[in-house]
Amino acid sequence: MPNFEGTGPTTKQHLDRRSFLRATGAIGAGLAGGLLSSANARQSGGDAVKRLVNGRRKLGQLEVSSIGLGCQDMTGAVYASAPRRPDMIALVRAAYDRGVTFFDAAEAYGPLEVERILGEAVAPFRKQVVIATKFGWNIDPETGRMMGGLNSRPEHIRVAVDGMLKRLQTDRIDLLYQHRVDPAVPIEDVAGTVKDLIVQGKVGHYGLSEPGPQTIRRAHAVHPVAAIQNEYSIMARDPEAQILPICKELGIGLVCWGPLAQGFLAGAIDRDTKFQPRDFRGSVPWFFPENRPDNLAIVETLKEWAQRKKATPAQISLAWLLAQGPSVVPIPGTNRLPHLIDDLGDDAVRFTPEELRDLNAALGRTPVQGARMGQFILSLSGVEAPPKK
């Protein structure tokens, strides 16, 4: 059985994620045993698991761990992997054992299945964690069939939330996001519906994912927005133009999905990487053959800083995000325990103001080539809701 304990950032000399995997002996068949070991240790009252995340941050009035866990790929639909359900339950519990209290899902993930996995996984410690999930796609709440397009009509939101509560095995969703702004529904109707659900006790806090800036202000005027979830990383810095300043102005947290640029900033992709047909990264312009060589220069910069800070590129990338503000919370997604441990090690990485200035200067010399997503997905981001009539 692989031993993953004591693998904090001060002990690793290899700089990329593949080297980290080899160093921990986690490639291959030993993974399941390693996943289950931490859960078994916790259930037996043992103290074998090293806590990696000690920081706490505020999303509005909601306190979460300084780094969360994105659960999107726990069915393997994103990266064309094939994780086992028991391993994903154990992975969530392993994250909790190491200090993570913030778990991110959505009804669209699976669809529906990721919420079921997360609900079962956190059941033993439900009151100690924050569950976030999202509505907004036109999904049959019984079958999970995607019926096309977006749907944030108030009646649909209410039905969607009732389904979420059942799948998550809980009586309250701690943070409920609109997954994408519906161009057919005024945000005042959406925020008002979520406000009603908060009054009923079904929801704790309200969030938006990839909204337009004016939509944030309009929603916040109806009910305080706790968090905005946007793609934000060293490679995807769009939120810095408008979203991050608005969040700081209004006291809203910024939750960063894709903080490692789909593994690219962790060193998981090189010039020769071939994506499987169902791996969505094959459609991301960052990774197109004409863009990848230039973008790899960013990874080389991170490797240099990883050597300097005795960390890994993933930890440097996540620590950089944490340095962008006290209410910035990255939620790297993974279905592998070694990746999880690598990601959580960022909590021990700190930059002095001079180091952060030097790192930003180095990153500024390597401009990103290509868009962060295909045009259709990008067209769903930054949308402003229609006016309330």
Query: How far is residue 292's CA from residue 104's CA, in Å, rounded to a whole number?
Result: 29
DSSP characters over 62-98: EEEESS-EE-GGGGSTTTT----HHHHHHHHHHHHHT
CB 327 within 8 A of CB 256: no
* 3-state DSSP of 148-159: EEECCCHHHHHH
Query: How far is residue 367's CA from residue 359's CA, in Å, rounded to a whole number?
Result: 14
DSSP characters over 4-17: -TT--TTT----SH
Residue with tokens 């969703």: 173
- What's the full length of the chain, in residues? 389
User: What's the chain's Rg over C-alpha atoms?
Assistant: 20
Residue with tokens 């969505």: 280
* Alpha carbon 102 to its chain's center: 10
The 8-class DSSP code of residue 383 comes to: B
Residue 236, sorted as left (phi over 0), alpha (psi -120 to 50) or beta, turns out to be beta
Query: How far is residue 193's CA from residue 199's CA, in Å, rounded to a whole number?
Result: 10
Query: How far is residue 120's CA from residue 85's CA, in Å, rounded to a whole number?
Result: 10
CB 300 within 8 A of CB 31: no
Q: Which residues contact 150 (CB under 8 A, 6 or more apart)?
A: 136, 137, 138, 180, 182, 183, 184, 380
Query: How far is residue 167's CA from residue 142's CA, in Å, rounded to a whole number?
Result: 11
The catalytic position among 109, 177, 206, 232 is: 109
Active-site residue flag, 109 = yes
Query: How far is residue 68's CA from residue 213's CA, in Å, rounded to a whole number?
Result: 24
Residue with tokens 């969360």: 68
Residues designated catalytic: 109
